[in-house]
Amino acid sequence: MRLTQLQYLLEIKKQGSISKAAQHLYIAQPSMSAAIKELEEELGYELMKRSKKGVTFTSLGEQVIEKAVVIIEEMEAIRCLGQGMSGSINGRVFLSAIPFACEHFLLDLMVQIRETHPGLHLLLDENNGDSVLHQVNRREADLGIIMICNNEEAYYKKELEKHHLTFLNLYEDEMYFWVGKRNPYYGKACASLGELLQFPYIYYKDSFSEEDQVLFGRHCDIAQLQAIPMKDKESVKKYVARSQAVTAMPFSASRDNIYGDSGLLKPLAIADERWLCRIGVVYRKDMPLTREELFLLEKLQELTADFAVTSAE
């Protein structure tokens, strides 16, 4: 018997169905069902009756629920020993994220957490998408934040399955090309990919994926494209701001962006491609999220709630 199984039972009792309980705890429904079935087999009796209307607990199941409440409360009391107040959020969560997320909302989250929950320490590491997945899979990071563009859906679906990870969507956006004052298209509302890719394309580390190359290859000779990697996002922006080069970022990068506010960089819509993206959290399927991780997920959803509008709308 595992503590997580009892936590699942209490949430099922609260929500009235396995699917709602799984959704609330950010757990895949089959994983929760399997955990409950395993518990029933271990105990040797049925805990609940399942139907299309939801679940109802057996008489023995109700007795287990009563004892589970006591066990969970005692465990929570143990967690609160030594803390300033019962129920406070304390601990450490390691978060691996793409540079875009670090720059545009995770730093704000860290400031909020520091001010409101000083006992919760959020450790942040900046990586490309593949590195984020590997870190979460190897348990080097508790949570990860990646961006999945519509041309990369098949790739990331395979990678998430391979690493046994779940992707929780935070918001959707649209990819724009960004140019500096020296670029002839500066100030225009949009341009075609073919027009934009005649200039050097600057990107962060290994973020110019094979899927991006296929997309670009439909509009230019990919062998002739000047694709230049930079070691960090700040270098990407500086290079583009001081040259005719271009780069690609979600439209939400225009929020509180010193380069955009000062006019050093301008976003251009892509006239001949619908290049969309989803920014979200990845975490392991086989491990229930801790109280601190659930808290951070809720804060992330609150923080990005008004990001979920594409620029074209």
Q: Is the pLDDT of residue 95 over 80?
A: yes
Q: At residue 56, does pLDDT exceed 70?
A: yes
Is 80 exceeded by the pLDDT of residue 219? yes
C-alpha angle 294-280-156 in degrees, rounded to nearest 5? 125
pLDDT bucket at 313, cuts 50 / 70 / 90: very low
308: pLDDT strictly greater than 90: no
Output the pLDDT for position 288.
Answer: 79
CA torsion through residues 38, 44, 48, 49, sign: positive
In this prediction, residues 212-236 reach a mean pLDDT of 94
Q: How confident is the model at residue 54 (pLDDT cuts 50, 70, 90)?
A: confident
- What's the CA dihedral at 213, 215, 220, 224 to 10 degrees? 0
Render pLDDT for 22-36 as a digit per residue (tens, 0 to 9).
887 777 888 888 889
Instruction: Inform me whether the pLDDT recorded for 243 exceeds 70.
Output: yes
Judged against a pLDDT cut of 80, whether residue 113 lies above it is answered with yes
pLDDT over 60 at 15, yes or no:
yes
The confidence score (pLDDT) of residue 86 equals 45
Mean pLDDT, residues 215-232: 94
How does the average pLDDT of the chain come out, rounded?
A: 88
| The one-letter amino acid at 136 | V
295 three-class SS: helix
Confidence of residue 92 (pLDDT cuts 50, 70, 90): confident
Average pLDDT on 143-168 reads 94
What is the pTM for the complete model shown? 0.72
Segment 63-88, tens digit of pLDDT: 999 998 888 777 766 665 554 444 56
pLDDT on residue 307: 81
pLDDT digits (tens, 9 = 90+) for 118-133: 889 899 998 889 999 9
Report DSSP letters for 214-266, one per residue. HHHHTTS-TTT--EEEESSHHHHHHHHHTSS-EEEEEGGGGTT-HHHHTTSEE
